[in-house]
């Protein structure tokens, strides 16, 4: 009889140990956010005007239950801040208030990618050819960004010993004010007057390689 009781206890402890181990494994891979600010208000709904339910303190970590991305200023996370008590915390799109951990959708579902990254600018050709300064377009640019964005540019002239070269610096700004810039050589059929361009030497060392 004693042997049977001992065997039952061993089996029970074994299952209990497995459940604890499984819980630890699930917790280590769960989608979570770690609070970076001194505190973040916990709201009843995903809006800054919703009722305050409490505060999430710096260093605390919470599992993410849902995410709301329609707000242009904030990313909202639904968390369980107490047993069976749920609320929403926000994270600024320009300056995140939280650190994301184990976002399972980040590489597979753009709907769940928080837009903290700056735009990426690419082009295929080394030089951009255009008629004059008024015919510049951005059709040749390949811009990667999940939000709306605008493109602006400035033209610079590089003065070298036996020639001069024009450069265009593109700046892409998305709707969260994230910015990226990239420089490309630009060739005009009709060169602009000096009062319409800037001096490259004012912002960086000149390149002045072989004559182009």
Q: What is the mean pLDDT of residues 137-147?
A: 88
Q: What are the start and end residues of each CATH 2.30.30.40 domain in the chain? A: 31-112
Task: Examine the pLDDT at 195 and tell me if it is beyond 50.
Answer: yes
Cα dihedral value 179, 129, 135, 118, nearest 10: -10
**Confidence at 18, pLDDT banded by 50, 70, 90:** very low
Burial of 117 (0-12, 13-18, 19+ CB in 10 A): middle
CATH class of the domain defined by 120-202? mainly beta
**Between these two residues, 43 and 144, which has the higher pLDDT value?**
43
Q: What is the CA radius of gyration of the chain?
A: 28
- Relative to beta strand 127-130, strand 179-188 is parallel
Task: Please state, rounded to an integer, the average pLDDT across all residues of the chain.
Answer: 82
Task: Examine the pLDDT at 109 and tell me if it is beyond 90.
Answer: no
Task: Look at residue 2 in the predicted model and tell me its pLDDT.
Answer: 52
**Between these two residues, 129 and 203, which has the higher pLDDT value?**
129
For 99-155, the DSSP string reads EEE--TTTTT-GGG----SPPEEE-S-SEEEESSGGG---TT-EEE-SS-EEEEEEE
The length of the chain in residues reads 212
Task: Examine the pLDDT at 170 and tell me if it is beyond 70.
Answer: yes
Helix (H, G, I), strand (E, B) or coil at 182: strand
H/E stretch holding 193:
none
Task: Look at residue 49 in the predicted model and tell me its pLDDT.
Answer: 92
**Confidence at 102, pLDDT banded by 50, 70, 90:** confident
Task: Examine the pLDDT at 211 and tell me if it is beyond 90.
Answer: no
Task: Look at residue 10 in the predicted model and tell me its pLDDT.
Answer: 46
**31-112 belongs to CATH 3.30.910.20:** no
Cα dihedral value 93, 98, 102, 108, nearest 10: -10
> How far is Cα 65 from Cα 209, in angstroms, rounded to an integer?
56
For the ranges 85-89, 99-103, 162-166, 174-178, which has the lowest average pLDDT? 174-178
Q: What are the start and end residues of each CATH 2.60.40 domain in the chain? A: 120-202
């Amino acid at each position: 009889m004693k042997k049977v009781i001992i065997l039952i206890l061993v089996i029970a402890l074994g299952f209990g140990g497995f459940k604890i181990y499984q819980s630890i494994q699930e917790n280590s891979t769960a989608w979570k956010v770690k609070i970076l600010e001194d505190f973040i208000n916990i709201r009843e709904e995903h809006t800054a005007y919703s009722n305050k339910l409490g505060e999430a303190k710096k260093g605390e970590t919470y599992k993410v239950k849902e995410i709301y991305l329609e707000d242009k200023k904030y990313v909202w996370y639904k968390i369980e801040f107490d047993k069976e008590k749920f609320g929403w915390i926000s994270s600024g799109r320009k300056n995140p208030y939280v650190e994301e951990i184990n976002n399972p959708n980040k590489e597979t579902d753009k709907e769940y990618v928080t837009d903290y990254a700056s735009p990426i600018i690419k082009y295929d050709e080394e030089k951009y050819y255009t008629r004059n300064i008024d015919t510049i377009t951005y059709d040749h640019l390949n811009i990667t960004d999940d939000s709306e964005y605008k493109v602006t540019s400035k033209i610079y002239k590089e003065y070298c010993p036996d020639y001069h070269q024009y450069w265009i610096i593109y700046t892409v700004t998305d709707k969260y004010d994230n910015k990226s810039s990239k420089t490309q050589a630009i060739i005009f059929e009709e060169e602009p007057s000096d009062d319409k361009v800037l001096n490259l030497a004012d912002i960086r060392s000149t390149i002045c390689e072989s004559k182009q």
